[in-house]
Amino acid sequence: MGTLHWEDGRAEVHRLVVGPIDNNVWVVRCKQTGAAVLLDAANEHERLLELCARLGVGRVLETHGHWDHIQAVPAVRDAGYDVAVTAADADMLPSYDSLLEDDAVIEVGRLRLRTIATPGHTPGSMCFRLEGSPLLFSGDTLFPGGPGATGFPGGDFATIIRSIDERLFGPLPADTVVLPGHGADTTIGDESPHLQEWVDRGW
């Protein structure tokens, strides 16, 4: 059913883990209005559609176009949900409805999600920051212990390091909670001291 992972007075964040490589699917919900968005229609579409109906999801946002994050896209589109992805990753999806642009605001009721383009894992990878809350949804760009993998077609290690350094570590406070596309949470403060280690090891 998904579990309540984080909340404050304004927002709820629910997590559902799906698929063969344990993808995190996040739902961000405005407490005042009941509006919600789902991040990454990854897999197990029956469970996702149940979650969407229960939490009032109106739209699906994709962090990037890799296969494990998009398996449920056709089913959620068939159910009437708008699916958005960046232009650079749009060709990786079987279908989509709208395009995400860098440094834009997506309104979710009275909440505001700010888009942050972070290429490197894929050309069009994107993170989402919940304004007024210490949350960053990092997709497969940043994990506990390092960047996402860059060995797939379209991935580039120097690019993901630059994205993490300039778009995440530079502007975001140390207490920002990072909610990734797989696995456990971390914080900007826990990860940022290790950037040079990652550069030196090359992954």
1 pLDDT higher than 90: no
Q: Can you give the pLDDT at residue 2?
A: 83
Query: Could you please report the per-residue DSSP string of 127-193?
Result: EEEETTTTEEEEETTEETTEEPP--STT--HHHHHHHIIIIIITTS-TTPEEEESBS--EEHHHHGG
* Cβ contacts of 193 within 8 Å, gap of 6 or more: none
Helices (H) and strands (E) in the chain, counts: 5, 15
Q: Give the mean model confidence (pLDDT) for residues 148-155.
A: 96
Residue 168: per-residue pLDDT:
98
Between strands 135-139 and 142-143, the pairing is unpaired
- Grade residue 75 by pLDDT with cuts at 50, 70 and 90: very high
Task: Report whether 121 contacts 155 (CB < 8 A).
Answer: yes
Whole-angstrom Cα distance, residue 141 to residue 86? Answer: 14
The four Cα atoms 49, 129, 23, 17 give a dihedral, to 10 degrees, of -60
For residue 200, the model assigns a pLDDT of: 97
Q: How far is CA 103 from CA 73, 75, 163, in A?
A: 24, 28, 14
The model scores a pTM over 0.85: yes
CA distances from 38 to 50, 71, 114, 154, 166 (A): 12, 14, 15, 25, 26
- 79 pLDDT band, cuts 50/70/90, is very high
In tens, the pLDDT along 20-60 reads: 999 999 999 999 999 999 999 999 999 999 999 999 999 99
Mean pLDDT of 134-150: 98
Percent of the chain whose pLDDT exceeds 90:
99
Report which residue type is found at 195: L
Structure token pair of residue 147: 């960047």
Instruction: Decide: 57 and 33 in contact? Cβ < 8 Å.
Output: no
Domain annotation for the chain: domains and CATH numbers: 3-201 (3.60.15.10)
Mean pLDDT of all residues belonging to the chain: 98
Which amino acid is present at 126? M
